[in-house]
Chains A and B, each alone.
Chain A
């Protein structure tokens, strides 16, 4: 292989060697570069994957993950029969991210037109420096759809929960209302805000390049935290009856305002509570703010003559008087020190029962003086006056009952008939409830049950007895005495409720004139408080009418409201009449044609009864205590015929009577019950 002269081959060999070295050098250079690049890549990879991994992962998550905020659903409010009184609905609100808006002039023009807002106001929000601004909240669904269609950068739509009260003004003072952020501002909504309000929760989900959500089970939404539901003691029907009757009375007597409270005295349940004027909680801002206040709890007033019931209760319980005790009513004028007490209608000597019926101030003042400040104060405090009743609604006032040490003689006398003392409507009704509940004072309550978000009862609230304030015997005596107010020649005869024995007390309180500090002769409170039926009270009703223009008297202005509400509420509750005799239809009272459902045109057809029992036969049967023939009669006619005989009825079927036992003509001596079979009438 070597050359002959030996040089050339060396030269030849040097070239490839150099090339080889050069090639080797280039190769090394490239490898070095590659190694360098690889090193950089590796270092960068280490930095990215190790040092900055958390930060970068978070940035990446921001791109493909979406944080969704679940607005809590506020709990519902039901009446005692499960009727919804307050519900929540989803509505949409429009928000802005001003930094993301490109053409502000165009955006303000379009948004102002769609949202029916002033363009300058919109522009003001568009130029805000805040990152997030509400443009308009709780808009109509169509408006929200229009905004979505516009697809403007920096403008978004977000769902929110809005409170809705389907019954509008019904029980507005109990329910209260919520603000735009679903925070309770008045009534139960405020008092139970923590319980009703749920907790908002967030979860993140993945989204694709177009922003569409991709649900991944492990990262799915957490359980939404809904608020608790409230079940109230209110009865929607009684609430409606009470509210309507009160509104009618306030309008009829051109009064300034009115209050009504209906209680179940045995359980302390508030069945209805209303004030007039009222407001619609759906649009509460359209009513003046003084109408929002629940004046049944917040505004104390002088109870006037209604307070005599509690003065008498104290005296009866202390054994100082009995219903028959005689009190000299001084012919209408009684001097206490330098002061004089008057009765509107002068009386000489009255029994304690008559004193209550005729509402003698002098009689009540004398009894109060006999009791003395200490005993009277102690008894009144036991009834709950001068302290909170503890009703589960916010804003309750204690009223005013001064300590007995500060009572002068005239103060004691005045308090005896309801002057110089201030009570709230709920205190007054609860105290009368104690009389109706055989002497046991119950704590008035509005919420009976709290239901958790899972639909299970979280808290069952039992009726709570505050304590015994008088013996059952004293309570019974008082009720008997209060019946005299409504019947006979009492001041509250307009509270008579057909079919039921009722008991009550009227009140006509002069209002203090703030300008002069004296009692006004023109401004009065007309009150009536009563219970029904007297033999087993199911309802306590208090009616207060403020400044009636035509008549100041509680017996004229407030008592008829009591009668209307008691009548319809007792019927609604299915309370049987006190005296069936009162319900027997007299022939002359029978309507010639009962209007029944017409065929949509408003016309009514006459529903003439089928075969009527011969009144003469019925009368004869009643006189002779023999069973009349009832076959062929309708149920009502048969009941009318049997009611005077005092028989207990057992009824089978419906339609007309086809069979009866005892048989017609049978002597009813020793017979207690009557069985009737009814079948559909064959035409």
Chain B
């Protein structure tokens, strides 16, 4: 009479423990995953910032390379081009 309910209680305790441990594991796993993803996002943010910075530096370099003074000096010095005389220019409407 007494051993059956005891076994029943034991099963309940074991079951509850398993569930609790399971829930705990899932929680721990998800918390760990959140932290891992947090690291990844943080790294990606840093990489994005670096890329944006790189882009901005390239843009500055491009703007520097497009200086009229520099282009004129290459055109006239290196490439031997000359300024067109007024009569050489034809404006097409």
Please tell me which one of the listed residues B59, B68, B83, B91 contacts residue A574 in the complex, with CB atoms under 8 A apart. B91
Q: Is the CB of B56 within 8 A of A83?
A: no
Say yes or no: B63 contacts A87, CB within 8 Å: yes
**Contact assessment for B39 and A166 in the assembled complex, using a CB-CB cutoff below 8 Å:** no
Chain B, residues 31-47, CB within 8 Å of chain A (1/0): the string is 00011001101100100
Q: Using an 8 Å CB-CB cutoff, how does the interface string of A645-675 with B read, 1 for contact, 0 for none? A: 0000101000000000000000000000000
A335 within 8 Å of B by Cβ? Answer: no
- In the complex, how many angstroms separate the beta carbon of B67 from the nearest chain A beta carbon? 5
B60 and A89 contact, CB distance less than 8 A:
yes
Judging by beta carbons under 8 Å apart, are B59 and A602 in contact?
no
**In the complex, are the beta carbons of B81 and A636 less than 8 A apart?**
no
Closest to B76 in A: A595
Enumerate chain A residues within 8 angstroms of B64, measured Cβ to Cβ: 166-167
- Output the least CB separation between A56 and chain B (Å): 22
How many residues of chain B are within 8 Å of chain A by beta carbon? Answer: 35
Q: Which residues of A contact B2 (CB under 8 A)?
A: none
A442 to nearest B CB, angstroms? Answer: 26
Residues of B within 8 A of A604 (CB): 80
Q: Does A168 contact B (CB under 8 A)?
A: yes
Q: Check A84/B63 contact, CB under 8 A, given A240-B68, A498-B86, A636-B90.
A: yes
**A89-B57, A89-B60, A636-B88 known; A214-B38 Cβ under 8 A:** yes
Given contacts A84-B63, A584-B87, contact A90 B79 (CB under 8 A): no
Determine the distance from Cα of A594 to Cα of B87 in the docked complex, in whole angstroms.
Answer: 13
Contact with A along B12-55 (1 / 0, CB 8 A): 00000000000000000000001100110110010000000100
B66, B92, B93: which contacts A83 (Cβ < 8 A)? B66
Q: Is A216 an interface residue (CB 8 A)?
A: yes
CA distance A631 to B57 in the complex (A): 52
CB of B4 closer than 8 Å to a CB of A: no
Query: What distance in Å separates the Cβ of A355 from its nearest Cβ neighbour in chain B?
Result: 31
- What's the minimum C-beta distance from A195 to chain B, rounded to whole angstroms? 20
CA gap between A458 and B13 in the complex, in Å:
67
**Which residues in A have their C-beta under 8 angstroms from that of B1?**
none
B60 contacts A164, C-beta separation under 8 Å: yes
Whether the pair A571, B89 counts as a contact (CB closer than 8 A) is: yes
A602-B63 CB under 8 A given contacts A215-B45, A571-B89: no
Interface residues of A in 589-611 (CB under 8 A from B): 589, 591, 594-598, 600, 602-604
The answer to whether A43 has its CB under 8 Å from any CB of chain B is no
Asked if B78 is at the interface of the complex by the 8 Å CB criterion, the answer is yes
Q: Which residues of B lie under 8 Å from residue A651 when comparing CB positions?
A: 92
**Which of chain A's residues have a CB closer than 8 A to the CB of B83?**
568
Separation in Å of the A260 CB from the closest CB of chain B?
A: 16
Residue of A nearest to B83 (CB): A568
| Segment of A346-354, A423-431, A575-583 engaged in the interface with chain B | A575-583
Count A-B pairs with CB separation below 8 Å.
105
Q: A214-B42, A577-B91 are in contact. Are A603 and B67 (CB under 8 A)?
A: no
Interface size on A, residues (CB 8 A): 53
Q: Confirm or deny: A170 has a beta carbon within 8 angstroms of a beta carbon on chain B.
A: yes
Of B80, B83, B84, B85, the most chain A CB neighbours within 10 A belong to B80
Determine if A206 and B91 form an interchain contact, defined as CB atoms under 8 angstroms apart.
no
Contact of A575 with B67 at beta-carbon distance under 8 Å, contacts A89-B60, A215-B41 already known: no
| Bound form: Cα–Cα A142–B69 in Å | 30
**Chain A nearest Cβ from B35, distance in angstroms:** 6
Give the nearest-CB partner of A216 in chain B: B38
Q: A182 in the interface, Cβ–Cβ < 8 Å?
A: no
Interface check A311, CB cutoff 8 A: no
B residues less than 8 Å from A216 (CB atoms): 34, 38
Looking across the interface, which residue of chain B has its beta carbon closest to that of A605? B80
Docked complex Cα distance between A215 and B79 (Å): 54
> Contact check: which of A90, A168, A237 meets B53 at CB < 8 Å?
A90
Given contacts A84-B59, A87-B63, A636-B90, A597 and B80 within 8 Å (CB-CB):
yes
Residues of chain A within 8 A of B45, CB atoms compared: 215, 221
Q: Tell whether, in the assembled complex, residue A595 and residue B81 are in contact, meaning their CB atoms are under 8 Å apart.
A: yes
- Check A598 against B79 for contact (C-beta < 8 Å): yes
B39 touches A576 (CB 8 A): no
Given the known inter-chain contacts A596-B81, A597-B79, A598-B79, please indicate yes or no for A167 contacting B63, CB distance below 8 A: yes
With a cutoff of 8 Å between Cβ atoms, the chain B residues found around residue A596 in the complex are 80-81
Q: Is A121 an interface residue (CB 8 A)?
A: no
Q: In the docked arrangement, what's the CA distance between A90 and B50, Å?
A: 10
CB neighbours of B78 from chain A (8 A) = 600, 602
Q: Which residue of A lies closest to B71 (CB)?
A: A240
User: Which A472-489 residues have C-beta < 8 A from chain B?
Assistant: none
A263 nearest CB across to chain B (Å)? 20
Contact call B80/A589, Cβ cutoff below 8 A: no
**Cβ of A57 under 8 Å from chain B:** no
Complex Cα gap A577–B85 (Å): 13
Q: Contacts A84-B63, A636-B88 given: A214-B35 contact, CB under 8 Å?
A: yes
Cβ contacts under 8 Å, A215 to chain B: 38-39, 41-42, 45
Cross-chain contact A87 with B60 (CB below 8 angstroms): yes
Given A217-B41, A582-B86: 5 more A-B contacts, CB < 8 Å: A215-B39, A591-B85, A595-B80, A597-B79, A639-B90
What are the nearest 7 A-B pairs in CB distance? A166-B63, A240-B68, A215-B41, A214-B38, A498-B86, A215-B42, A576-B91
A–B Cβ pairs within 8 angstroms, 7 of them: A170-B67, A205-B42, A216-B34, A240-B69, A571-B86, A583-B87, A583-B89
